[in-house]
Structure 1
């Protein structure tokens, strides 16, 4: 019966100009369908917000909207124009490379620390979505994001578009609309397939180009004494920094490096008090991270842990940390350094006062945080310069030329 209603609705909509020529499907692949769905504001309650609203292709698939101070907002505003989240929208670039959420172990490289065992992978900051398709199904139903009341309401929006009807039935079977969950899951699968295309993970940064043969016209040479070269050495050093412990997935100089091991750690990030004041969080609210709303995780020892993010495009995806509490990449490096005894970075450079206390103190991972040597201002600068070279080619122009010139000059 559902199939006949779908066909009838398609005929009615097409008579009102709701579709392109039926003999020429608008979407000939799941990826093409997913791209349209990713950018479709009609899948939100007030028809004002799409996936792309918080994951802007022009800004490495992060939320580029500004706050009253003309800085990129720490958290996103919802479809209702009022609601604010509590976590920063992460980049979707390279999200397709993330393993499914699981408990396991991984080998570490360029690290003095032992191999990691614990929770790994998954989508969102807390891994609560096991796969990319699971993640795609979350925002439409989140009351402070796209705000749709249930899956059936989203499917009804799909049924308004005859191009979607034709594509979903062609690509996922003529019975795709027989059950709400089947149709909804087809939608999320299409979005996930779009997010798994090369557009999201091109691996064409200056770092990637440095791995090419030197006679390749696209080859990038770090040089010997440039700041980017010094930063690269420092980043991968086992003796002087702990960067690679959590931000190196493969053996050095391997292609396809995502600059995250997908581990979970509490690094002592403080509360973003400005966000909490703005979003109306109840007094005493604590974001327990991995333990907060990931049903697979219950142990108190996991409270306050968040997934290690990719450093791909990190130079153009401010603000930083899961709650957007820091605006500058140099601040993040100094924050890490302040955990070391004798650090000269005892003050938050963005506030001019001492670093605020961790949101959750009991599980801060001091073992990894207190590994490495103290950093001076030059060290911080060259590390930032190296991380600039992890920017996808199409986003390199987002970094001012003067910054590139400063980092690459010998």
Structure 2
């Protein structure tokens, strides 16, 4: 569990972010302007209030969890605790309950468009891995009253916990409306809005990775990283950019490396998680608003920002190492990739066998080890500058 003083939070907020970049000089200017327009929580009163709520453990049943517990600022806004199925999922406030999915990063989440159906009948955007919350405000409301997470009984209980703090009452009256917390619905919306305001600040999306700095001419990528970059963006040698495209958010021109769409890539069952839940995760079909069986097994394409430090991977945390993920993709085109290096056994069966996107997965030639390593090296360049030390500490760990 992460606990930070307001002073330390403010230091992060003031120092976390540089500008971003693009692939040509004219667009670079636009990127810098967009990054500069992102608010800093220490100067935005709603975001500052949201930051305190985000880290307030009193807003959980046992007063021991906050939003920042499962989206820890120190670990790129993911949950690195290993007390629930070796970190595949998160432990709830009661110390016993476990969620059914790996907690996605809250970093860069603000750029996901509202959940909607596209002209081709497929779906795009939203929050959570199944898009069940259309935007950040709705997403922020979910964990407080989820019995497997922060586990408060209802929205009224959340509002009452907030009202225990006189400082909160004063600021909500000032920033929203007098007595806003006396109305449960209005108060709950205001609480979530403040948290969403915090999640829209530069702290969550600094765009200052090695990739960004190289685009701005501040540093040079290594030859291996450059090879990985070329392979990643190539439509001839990999299928990476079929889903992890650039500049696809309607909310900002920054590069988030996702098209925000939903895909079934044939992720294997996580045996430990399946033993715990006893159910198959149907992804988008588990969204209460979706009833089309063709959406079973599809999950939202994640941003690749900070991907190298936010494992374990996939919706069920089945893979621990980033290189394993690249090898898993390569198995669709490489007959030699038959063994999962983490288990030393054949790749597990897909959790949902229907609707696998073979059309995109089977594009491209087989990758030799040198190219796999180059792609992994490039993906590491997408790590925010303040998390680069996590890469260094990880290099001494075992890589499968």
Fold shared by both chains (TM-score > 0.5): yes
Structure 1 residue 295: Cα displacement: 2.5
| Match of residue 134, structure 1, among 130, 135, 138 | 138
1:57 is matched with 73
8 Å contact 1:344–1:376 — kept in the other structure? Answer: no
TM-superposition CA deviations, 1:317-376 (whole Å, max 9, x none): 110001100000010011111112x42111101011111111111111111111111111
- Distance in 2, Cα, partners of 1:66 & 1:236: 34
Whether 1:39 aligns to 2:36 is no
Larger-gyration structure (1/2):
1
| Match of residue 102, structure 1, among 116, 124, 129 | 116
2:162 is matched with 158
The RMSD of aligned alpha carbons is 2.0
Structure 1 residue 28: Cα displacement: 7.1
> With structure 1 as the length reference, what TM-score do the two structures score?
0.82
Whether 1:288 aligns to 2:318 is no
- Distance in 2, Cα, partners of 1:234 & 1:55: 31
- Distance in 2, Cα, partners of 1:76 & 1:393: 26
8 Å contact 2:84–2:98 — kept in the other structure? Answer: no
Q: Which runs of 5+ in 2 are unaligned?
A: 1-41
Whether 1:206 aligns to 2:210 is yes
TM-superposition CA deviations, 1:9-40 (whole Å, max 9, x none): xxxxxxxxxxxxxxxxx997110100000000
2:258 is matched with 260
Whether 1:185 aligns to 2:189 is yes
From the superposition, tell whether residues 28 and 352 of structure 1 become closer, same or farther in structure 2 (CA, over 3 Å).
Answer: closer
- Distance in 2, Cα, partners of 1:77 & 1:137: 18
- Distance in 2, Cα, partners of 1:397 & 1:255: 28
Structure 1 residue 296: Cα displacement: 2.4
| Match of residue 305, structure 1, among 284, 298, 301 | 298
| Match of residue 346, structure 2, among 350, 354, 363 | 354
Structure 1 residue 117: Cα displacement: 6.0
8 Å contact 2:274–2:280 — kept in the other structure? Answer: no
- Distance in 2, Cα, partners of 1:27 & 1:159: 24
Map 1:312-391 → 2, pairs under 5 A? 312-340=305-333, 342-391=334-383
From the superposition, tell whether residues 47 and 27 of structure 1 become closer, same or farther in structure 2 (CA, over 3 Å).
Answer: farther
- Distance in 1, Cα, partners of 2:280 & 2:59: 31
Q: SS of 1:291's equivalent?
A: helix
> With structure 2 as the length reference, what TM-score do the two structures score?
0.84
Structure 1 residue 378: Cα displacement: 1.0
| Match of residue 118, structure 1, among 122, 130, 134 | 122
- Distance in 2, Cα, partners of 1:81 & 1:178: 31
Map 1:201-240 → 2, pairs under 5 A? 201-212=205-216, 214=217, 219-223=218-222, 226-240=223-237
From the superposition, tell whether residues 166 and 297 of structure 1 become closer, same or farther in structure 2 (CA, over 3 Å).
Answer: same
Q: Which runs of 5+ in 1 are unaligned?
A: 1-25, 106-115, 405-410
Structure 1 residue 276: Cα displacement: 2.7
8 Å contact 2:237–2:365 — kept in the other structure? Answer: yes
Structure 1 residue 271: Cα displacement: 1.4
